[in-house]
């Protein structure tokens, strides 16, 4: 992320330039409209982030962290509740 967290919106998310996260999310030729696979700013080993639109506004979604054998966080999964509780 940017050195100054206060500039993330303008520098990363919505700069108005191609490659900004919002532009990539809206680009149907990237993956498809509403989805983006982005390399994190200042990533040194290709660390990436997958973004997708999650629904109709504010909500709560469970997060699950995956750790390697040295207890380092290597992945985060977000359950967007696509499959409901009452599905047989």
**37 strand-pairing partners:** 50
Is residue 48 a part of any domain in this protein? yes
pLDDT of residue 68: 95
Q: Domain for residue 87, yes or no? A: no
Asked whether residue 30 is assigned to any structural domain, the reply reads yes
Domain total for the chain?
Answer: 1
84 lies in some domain: no
Q: Residue 51: which domain range?
A: 5-78
Task: List all residues 6 or more positions away from 24 whose beta carbon is below 8 Å from its beta carbon.
Answer: 30, 36, 38, 51
pLDDT at 1 over 60: no
E-only strand ranges, the chain:
35-39, 48-52, 63-67, 73-78
On whether the pTM is more than 0.85, the answer is no
Condensed to tens digits (0 to 9), the pLDDT of residues 14-55 reads 777 777 888 888 888 888 888 889 888 778 888 888 888 766
């Amino acid at each position: 992320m940017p050195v100054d967290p206060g500039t993330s919106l303008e520098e990363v998310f919505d700069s108005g330039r191609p490659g900004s996260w919002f532009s990539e999310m809206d680009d149907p030729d990237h993956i498809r409209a509403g989805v983006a696979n982005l390399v994190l700013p200042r990533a040194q080993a290709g660390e990436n982030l997958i973004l997708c639109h999650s629904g109709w506004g504010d909500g709560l979604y469970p997060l699950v962290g995956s750790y390697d054998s040295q207890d380092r966080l290597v992945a985060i999964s977000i359950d967007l509740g696509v499959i409901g509780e009452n599905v047989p």
